[in-house]
Amino acid sequence: MGFLNKKPVIRQEGFHPLELNEDNVRAIFNRCLATDDTKNLTAPILFALKNGYSEDSKPIVFDKDKITANSATIEYLFAQLHDVHTSKGFIAPMSVTIKYDKSTWTQSKGIILEFLHLGYAAHLFNAFSRVEHDSKAVLFPINPALSPKDPAFPAWWETHQKEWEDLAKAYENR
């Protein structure tokens, strides 16, 4: 970081980790929604009839290119979940409210569904399956991450920054 007119100049290039919170999820969700100009669409169905639900859930239509461009950030948000840190290998809709430090980042069902749609569109887990009364989805491998607001983040980031920057580059090259 350098200085310009005695103010710090923050590096703009590269991957920037975000804290898992409602504002960040909503911002990425809105950024990735399809518009009238979108040419490459994706419309994930989280809860499908073929997976034990009474009907298909309403899909959200995203701009596939914007999902790809934001996939590393979406994955980083999911990497802060308790289920990722405990290596359970699956998630349930309500378990995505619990962060690795066991704090609850949201109670909003709308935000939870937005977050789940982003994760599914970014191919971080398979569609939810209903077994008896439980809904679960198998998580694909995600490296656990810390919130940038965690006191342990600076030392952790020093060790893990390259892997997240490499992941972001890999998504860019898809």
52: left (phi over 0), alpha (psi -120 to 50) or beta: left
Per residue in 72-130, pLDDT (tens digit) is 999 999 999 999 999 778 899 889 999 999 999 999 999 999 999 999 999 999 999 98
Instruction: Please give the structure tokens belonging to residue 30.
Output: 């809105």
User: Residue 2: is its pLDDT beyond 50?
Assistant: no
The DSSP symbol for 97 reads G
DSSP string, 48-65: -GGGT-SSPPPP--EEHH
d(CA 66, CA 37): 12
Number of neighbours of residue 147 by Cβ within 10 angstroms? 23
Distances (CA, A) of 104 to 94, 118, 136: 10, 19, 19
pLDDT tens per residue, range 4-29: 444 444 445 679 999 999 999 999 99
114 close to 26: Cβ distance less than 8 angstroms: yes
Structure tokens at 152: 């342990």
